[in-house]
Amino acid sequence: RPQFNYQKVILFPGDGIGPEISKAVIDIFDSAKVPIEWEFHEIHKKRVTEQGDLITEETLKQVKALKYALKGPFETPIGKGYRSINVTLRKRLQLFANVRPCKSIKGVKTPYPGVDVVTIRENTEGEYSGLEHEVVPGVVENLKIVSYNACQNIAQYAFEYARANNRKQVVACHKAGVMKQGDGLFLKVCDDVAKNYPEIEFSEEQIDTMAFKLANDPTKIDVMVMPNLYGDIVSDLCAGLIGGLGLTASGNIGKDCEVYEAVHGTAPDIAGKNLANPTALLLSGIMMLKAMRLNDYANRIENATYQVLEEGKFLTGDLGGKSTTTDYTKAIIDKL
């Protein structure tokens, strides 16, 4: 649907429930007259590149050229086969930051109302650098890489995010008491970068203390920035605080481009049955619109979504309702 002045954006519908939840997002964005034009990229499982990837060089170039992409979940092969599409995108597009906002939704019952926390995770190195080997039988060495550049990128991004989103505090989470050099470097860089953002309150916390604080009273926490492994764990914990993976959006940010995605998987048990909850992908799309400075459209869709969830008349099965994906989508469109 080419339109004058519409910005092109990539859409990877993904596997399993991916096409159903993508259709919901497309219909809602259409109804809100969002000025974007989707460029669909289907991934063909049988077309593996020489490097073992499903995503071709042309597609990667196109993501960089268009800058913004929305991605449904992809099935990840275990053991052999092609490389995980998520890993390929993250590595090849150098998506160094993973951002996951978790905000309580009225109408979704959780132990803590009023959570509004953002996890910003270093996405490229740390414990997930992929460098491990067996030194002698029975002893494996797994290298945790911490580089000044990656720390600088993630720290700067965290403060820029806080500034752009009017957040008041950033806390760096680490274990520098034990990993004095690796996490120590991360902490020092965060501390240095913080000096350029005097309006944002900066603090630091050992990751275990932060785990306690998140369980004790998450409503007191604002933006957290942390290395890869801690971020992986804490971001899922925060999703649990607001009612689950079906409601949690995320963005993978690089210098050239940004890929937004729901954090859940392909949900093979409900795929093709019109039962999936599209909220996580929808909220990821809303994050993307805000990054594109289409805030008016983003806010309208966000308000309509929150209203439908709060009223609770059209909820999908994962939230205890009986509505189909299309009923829920229609309810949001009706609000718009």
Binding residues for ligand NAD (CB under 6 A): 17, 73-76, 86, 245-246, 261, 264-270, 276-277, 280, 316, 318
Which H helix or E strand runs over 219?
none
Position of tokens 């990993």? 179
Strand partners, 205: 173
Q: How far is the CB of 138 from ligand NAD (least distance, A)?
A: 29
Q: How far is the CB of 296 from ligand NAD (least distance, A)?
A: 27
Q: How far is CA 238 from the centre of its chain?
A: 12
Cβ proximity to ligand NAD, 33 vs 80, nearer residue: 80
Cβ proximity to ligand NAD, 187 vs 287, nearer residue: 287
Cβ proximity to ligand NAD, 98 vs 153, nearer residue: 98
What are the CA-CA distances from residue 164 to residues 66, 117, 118 (Å)? 22, 15, 13
According to the 3-state scheme, what is the secondary structure of 40-98?
ECCCCCCCCCCCCCCCCHHHHHHHHHHCEEEECCCCCCCCCCCCCHHHHHHHHCCCCEE
User: In the structure encoding, which two tokens stand for residue 156, read together?
Assistant: 């700067």
Q: How far is the CB of 238 from ligand NAD (least distance, A)?
A: 16
Q: How far is the CB of 316 from ligand NAD (least distance, A)?
A: 6
CA distance 205 to 277: 35
Cβ proximity to ligand NAD, 75 vs 258, nearer residue: 75
Cβ proximity to ligand NAD, 72 vs 182, nearer residue: 72
Q: How far is the CB of 248 from ligand NAD (least distance, A)?
A: 10
Cβ proximity to ligand NAD, 228 vs 277, nearer residue: 277
SS3 of 24, please?
helix
The single-letter DSSP state of residue 6 is P
Q: How far is the CB of 7 from ligand NAD (least distance, A)?
A: 24
CA distance 7 to 12: 16
Residue nearest to ligand NAD (CB): 265
